[in-house]
Structure 1
Amino acid sequence: MDQNLLERVNPVFNTAKMTVFQLASAGVKDAALVAEKLNLSFEETQNSASVTVAPEQMTANTILVETRWRTCAAIAEKSGCKTLVDLPCGYTPRAKAFSQKGIAYYGLDLPAAIAEAEPAILSLIDEDKRSSVHFCGVDATNGESLKAALKGAEGPVCITTEGLLMYFTDSEVGALCDNIRMILKERGGCWLTADPEAGMQYILTMQPIAGDRFMEIMMKSKTAAEDKSDVNVGGNSLNVSPMGDVALNMKNAMTFLARHGLKAERMILSEHMPEINSLDKITPEQAQAIKQNMQKCACWKITAMDTDVAVDTADLSSEGFDMQASLTNDTLNLSLKGRVDTLTAPKLLALYERVKAEHELSAVAIDCTELAYISSAGLRVLLIMQKGCSNGVRLTGINQSVREILEQTGFDSILDIAD
């Protein structure tokens, strides 16, 4: 599939380039080698269409990312699991460190990211260690793609998730939770993520550096991430908002996990932090304040509940994806079956653009009777169609699950949806 097409349906992987450049700035030598191999620059990775990164913002981001990356790795190593599943793996060189320790590594990410990251990272790993390193393009909301990617993995597994949940809607993070529970029930192990408290960690890192400007800079960082990912950041129930009643927000996030058959233990960051190189970039007083602040936020160690829970399997269909197309005058008629996600949305976009290049189109009519699930990547394709046709997109036959996704994301007010 064309790399440009993959990026257009889901550009969120571009934020991972911010991360590897920040790790390089923190003195992680292998991250610097990856950034060099990919020809990444400060301007490309840190600035966005509407945000120019301030020095203190870059410093805080570097400390935040290095703390999360090193601490999560330290907890993962202590888990005793035979296999590390890095979801998403991004462009970071974690595969090298874990393969050297004799731990099998599975780097899973969007196909567009894997195409760039795999050769760059494998080039850093000794040939005798490469057999324990595996990369695969997946969609985290697609259970079948995850099962296929982990077919040869030995359990128990430790799944690490860094910087992913903030880009998901409730429906997407719910699908991810169901998929991870499925993996943990089959293989054993745990899921480690600092994402639920990422907002809290950001504030507690930024305050000692930026003082009264921390909120202004935090909002700039949020805008930069939204520019690069083309999604609204932090809008799901598993993100613990640092605003308002934090204890209540955390309880609600735990309740969300429980509805998906998962439970969490908070692993306080300060109790597991190794040495953080980037703290040398600030004053000793600022560094000490940040270390103390890390007593207030945690990485979550999530495991599957022993008791069975009802799981909605409507979006976990193993029937795959299929579409039928025809033309009636200037209307493209589509019938969609299965899932439209990061793995399948490029096929839909490619078809639409091929037809539009050959025919005058004023509308797209989509029969969704057999559509089981649509992710933000699929919604992005619908938006491209909506903007590209004078009479827009009309959906018919949508089920309740898909309707809820459209309502959660506001697409019910953008598209023409038949009752």
Structure 2
Amino acid sequence: MTIETERNSQAQANPVFMTAKAAICLMAAADISDASTIVRCLEPENHDPLQNMTDPDVVLGNALVVETKYRTMCSLIKDSGCHVCVDLPCGYTPKALHLSKAGMRFIGLDLPIVVQEIEPIIRSLTTSSDEISFHGIDATNYESIRTALQNVTGPLCITTEGMMMYFDAYEADAVVSNIRAMLELHGGLWITPDPEFVLQFFYSFHSIFGKNSLAKLAASKESAQQQANVANLSNPLIINPDDIIRSSKTAEDFINSHGMKVEKITLAEHIPTLSIYRQLTQEQIRNFKNAMNDCHYWVITLDEHRQQTDNSEQQALPFEMNYALENNIFKVSIGGRLDSLTAPQLLTAWEKIKTTSMPVGAEIDCAKLEYITSAGIRVFLIIQKALSRNLTLTNVHSSLKKLFMQKGFTVPPQR
């Protein structure tokens, strides 16, 4: 398998990584230190992550949101009292450079396709390489995160910024369980703007674009979906702007159910001075600062009244896959987890089979499949589309059957 083939498989299985490239381009537009250098090192060439944002106002609004999150999160991390920041996902931002200069240890966790690109760039820009490390992980995969942090001591400041909204309820539950497990193991806290990300976008755009804000937001959403070929999913942690009170309670209850508690920090009280202000009028700046009184970042810690969780159940069987072309049918058996780390292997196997002879159908034996994420589902859909829906899943566990049927897959009844 060539490096290019592996990378193409990773990109197709995990297209959401393109949103991280858009974020660093927006940071460059906001004149955040080192962002432009990182963009140049990434060499986007003709595949500019912002090419779908043709309206300068949409770029401005997004840059405002992105810079606000970046600078505010960096400030909160430094004030957290923790020496170690675990950034999940780390994306392509210069956060590692900024925090290591402040004397913190930075551990960047992200999809392998992101880590492979950003790690050499960051290392070329710093002299504090001992305080910076990167690891390719899947956020739903407990073992991948535990392994990445196995040599870490001291309390952690875990950050999730721009990630939780891309999970369905099934995945979000696993991610929150994993974060809780890491806090139980290491101590510390979790800081995230993600529950109120829709509110921050809405209030930010409305404060600077007024009556035109809804149209600008719609254009922004369309651009993001075209860019990453992935839609925001629904899960209990994300607050619905059409039902703020009830969905806020749902989100807090979701965190509480995992043995943790929430403190909400008013964003307006913690925003540092932004470079993007130079592109705004004084009235827009005032409106924006006032609007951020209605937006919060969440600081989440273990509930002292919780019961200690047994994480041994999260140990997954190793991934395994066997495949062959039989009677022009692509037959595959999968065991363990099919997630962001392993789904590209299935896609690579499919591409390899196609080079010999295009199958007329596919059968995937799921008898040993324990868990599947949206990346795994995406690869199944790619294969199904290529075969005009002639794909069948066999021996599906009852815990996965409903999920597969919701996605439109054929699941024969168990014998």
- Name the TM tier (shorter chain): over 0.9
1:416 alignment partner, SS class: coil
Distance 1:239 1:125 in 2: 36
Select the residue among 10, 13, 25 that pairs with 2:14: 10
Deviates more, 1:356-365 or 1:30-39: 356-365
Distance 2:115 2:401 in 1: 32
**Between the two proteins, what is the percent identity of the paired residues?**
36
> Hey, what does 1:24 align to over in structure 2?
28
Residue 243 (structure 2) pairs with residue 239 (structure 1): no
- Cα RMSD of the aligned pairs, angstroms, is 1.9
Distance 2:173 2:312 in 1: 11
Q: 1:241 to 1:142 in 2, by over 3 A?
A: same
Distance 1:239 1:42 in 2: 34
Distance 1:360 1:4 in 2: 19
Distance 1:90 1:287 in 2: 28
> Hey, what does 1:271 align to over in structure 2?
269
Q: 1:54 to 1:189 in 2, by over 3 A?
A: same
Distance 1:345 1:282 in 2: 44
Residue 289 (structure 2) pairs with residue 262 (structure 1): no
- Once the two structures are TM-superposed, the CA of residue 313 in structure 1 deviates from its matched residue by 7.8
Q: Which structure 2 residues correspond to residues 132-143 of structure 1 after superposition, within 5 A?
A: 132-143=131-142
> Hey, what does 1:286 align to over in structure 2?
284
Contact (CA 8 Å) 2:404, 2:411: kept in 1 or not?
Answer: no
Q: Which structure 2 residues correspond to residues 397-412 of structure 1 after superposition, within 5 A?
A: 397-406=395-404, 410-411=406-407
**Post-superposition CA distance 1:211-239 (Å, at most 9, x none):** 21211221221222222222221422211
2:335 alignment partner, SS class: strand
- Once the two structures are TM-superposed, the CA of residue 21 in structure 1 deviates from its matched residue by 1.1
Distance 2:389 2:76 in 1: 53
2:162 alignment partner, SS class: coil
Q: Which structure 2 residues correspond to residues 115-134 of structure 1 after superposition, within 5 A?
A: 115-126=116-127, 129-134=128-133
Distance 1:309 1:156 in 2: 17
Distance 2:206 2:95 in 1: 29
Residue 63 (structure 2) pairs with residue 62 (structure 1): yes
Distance 1:391 1:227 in 2: 23
Give unpaired runs (5+ residues) of structure 2.
none
Contact (CA 8 Å) 2:199, 2:241: kept in 1 or not?
Answer: yes
Residue 99 (structure 2) pairs with residue 81 (structure 1): no
**Post-superposition CA distance 1:347-381 (Å, at most 9, x none):** 11111221222134111111112111111111111
Contact (CA 8 Å) 2:367, 2:397: kept in 1 or not?
Answer: yes
Give unpaired runs (5+ residues) of structure 1.
none
Contact (CA 8 Å) 1:194, 1:299: kept in 2 or not?
Answer: yes
Code of the residue aligned with 1:176 in structure 2: it is V
Contact (CA 8 Å) 2:325, 2:353: kept in 1 or not?
Answer: no
Distance 1:372 1:177 in 2: 19
Select the residue among 359, 362, 367 that pairs with 1:361: 359
Distance 2:358 2:45 in 1: 41
Distance 1:246 1:84 in 2: 30
> Hey, what does 2:188 align to over in structure 1?
189
Distance 1:17 1:299 in 2: 23
Residue 410 (structure 2) pairs with residue 416 (structure 1): yes
Contact (CA 8 Å) 2:20, 2:92: kept in 1 or not?
Answer: yes
2:367 alignment partner, SS class: strand
**Post-superposition CA distance 1:311-354 (Å, at most 9, x none):** 8987x343120012243312122211110001001111111221
Distance 1:25 1:168 in 2: 28
Q: Which structure 2 residues correspond to residues 306-317 of structure 1 after superposition, within 5 A?
A: 306=304, 307-308=306-307, 316-317=314-315
Contact (CA 8 Å) 1:82, 1:155: kept in 2 or not?
Answer: yes
**Post-superposition CA distance 1:276-319 (Å, at most 9, x none):** 111221110110110011111111111223312878987x3431
1:176 alignment partner, SS class: helix
Q: 1:35 to 1:308 in 2, by over 3 A?
A: same
Code of the residue aligned with 1:72 in structure 2: it is M
Contact (CA 8 Å) 1:373, 1:401: kept in 2 or not?
Answer: no
Distance 2:37 2:253 in 1: 42
Contact (CA 8 Å) 1:336, 1:367: kept in 2 or not?
Answer: yes
Contact (CA 8 Å) 2:9, 2:344: kept in 1 or not?
Answer: yes
- Once the two structures are TM-superposed, the CA of residue 395 in structure 1 deviates from its matched residue by 1.0
Distance 2:72 2:139 in 1: 23
Code of the residue aligned with 2:328 in structure 1: it is D
Code of the residue aligned with 2:102 in structure 1: it is K
**Post-superposition CA distance 1:185-233 (Å, at most 9, x none):** 1001111110110110111110122221211221221222222222221
Residue 153 (structure 2) pairs with residue 154 (structure 1): yes
> Hey, what does 2:218 align to over in structure 1?
219
Distance 1:303 1:375 in 2: 26
Q: 1:332 to 1:396 in 2, by over 3 A?
A: same
Distance 1:42 1:7 in 2: 17
> Hey, what does 1:100 align to over in structure 2?
101
TM-score by length of 1: 0.93
Q: 1:160 to 1:310 in 2, by over 3 A?
A: closer
Residue 379 (structure 2) pairs with residue 374 (structure 1): no
Residue 35 (structure 2) pairs with residue 35 (structure 1): no
1:417 alignment partner, SS class: coil
1:91 alignment partner, SS class: coil
Contact (CA 8 Å) 2:316, 2:337: kept in 1 or not?
Answer: no
**Post-superposition CA distance 1:10-43 (Å, at most 9, x none):** 1111111111111111111211111121224797
> Hey, what does 1:322 align to over in structure 2?
320
Distance 1:319 1:157 in 2: 27
